[in-house]
Structure 1
Amino acid sequence: MSEMRIGELRRLRGWTQERLAEASGLAVRTVQRMESGKDASLDSLSSVAAALEVTVRDLFVESEPASLDPGVRGLDERAEREQVQRESAQRGWQFLYSGVGIVVTLGTVALIGTGAWVGSAIFVIPAYWAGGAVLARFVMATVVHPALDRRYPLSRRTADH
């Protein structure tokens, strides 16, 4: 396989081996072995690439990209597919929150308009949007993201989700 540039990428971030190990979920010794050029599993390479926010391919010094091991090329392609699927699932949850909010808003306005609810029920609308936003973030952090992490292990959370 080609020469790895994990140490170079780590130093560019100003990270120690210990910091990279923590960010990637690997043992420090594993990071040390990888930086010394020892063989690494595709899972370990993927974890380091995700921590450094690069593709697995970027972990290698290459003069000719076609010479990369087919497993590494395949891992990059799989990671890209998983990232697209993860982002689609995240957007689905966001659309669900918005859709329920629209129904709550229109339903509340309709009930107030027909006289079925008193005018103070209008506070249901901001309560949903404000309280729902906090609840939605909690559910995303504690339920949805962990489920997506398990389902799409090669993907990573994006900053806006």
Structure 2
Amino acid sequence: MVKNKIKELRTACHLSQEQLAEKAQVSVRTIQRLEAGDDASISTLNLVAGALGVEVGDLFPHTDTSQEQEEKIQSADEQLQYQLQARHEEFRTFKHLYNAIFIIVMMAWGALFPLVHSDIYSSLMGVFWIGAWIIMVPLKKWLTIKRVDPKLDRKFPLTASRVDKNRQG
């Protein structure tokens, strides 16, 4: 039996066991076992800590940690930091690639203006060009939420429940 503060942290966050399980992407039974003092894997501890917005070491009372528990906490933190760093790099790559493609497309579109000889088509191209600039940010957010985040959550599962998963910190 391992003493932990998961129930205390969960209630402080006003979460039910079901809500914490959903947020941490684990089963309710896993939360029940953890709160009862059962041991858990490093990845499970990372997921629960991320869902609660704390570090893995904060899940345990500092006075009751054994050497084995300290090593487990350190290993969990190292794995999380590795996955967060890798996720941040991939997310940064996505942002740079999106921006580069968008700018190239917009420059190419702008270069077509002098080739259009009709005022109507020229005006229409200008409206679309301005409209594309307006929808750039919402489109990137939509792509992030619907496409990039789910892919990165599968690739880096320890980061899935972290609020800081796409921010370099």
Shorter-chain TM-score: which interval?
A: 0.7 to 0.9
Q: How does 1:78-117 map to 2 (within 5 A)?
A: 78-112=79-113, 115-117=114-116
Give the length in aligned residue pairs. Answer: 159
**Match of 1:45?**
45
Q: Residue 63 of structure 1 aligns to a residue in which SS?
A: helix
- TM-align CA RMSD: 2.6
Q: How does 1:129-140 map to 2 (within 5 A)?
A: 129-140=133-144
**Match of 1:35?**
35
TM-score, normalised relative to structure 1: 0.82
**Match of 1:57?**
57
Distance 1:151 1:157 in 2: 17
**Match of 1:125?**
129
TM-score, normalised relative to structure 2: 0.78
> Which residue identity is paired with 2:20?
L
Q: List runs of 5+ in structure 2 lacking aligned partners.
A: none
Distance 1:26 1:108 in 2: 47
> Which residue identity is paired with 1:24?
A
Q: Is the 8 A contact 1:46 1:56 kept in 2?
A: yes
Distance 1:65 1:80 in 2: 21
**Cα shift at 1:149:** 0.8
Q: Is the 8 A contact 2:10 2:20 kept in 1?
A: yes
Greater relative contact order, per chain length (Cα 8 Å cut-off, separation 6+): 2
Q: How does 1:10-29 map to 2 (within 5 A)?
A: 10-29=10-29
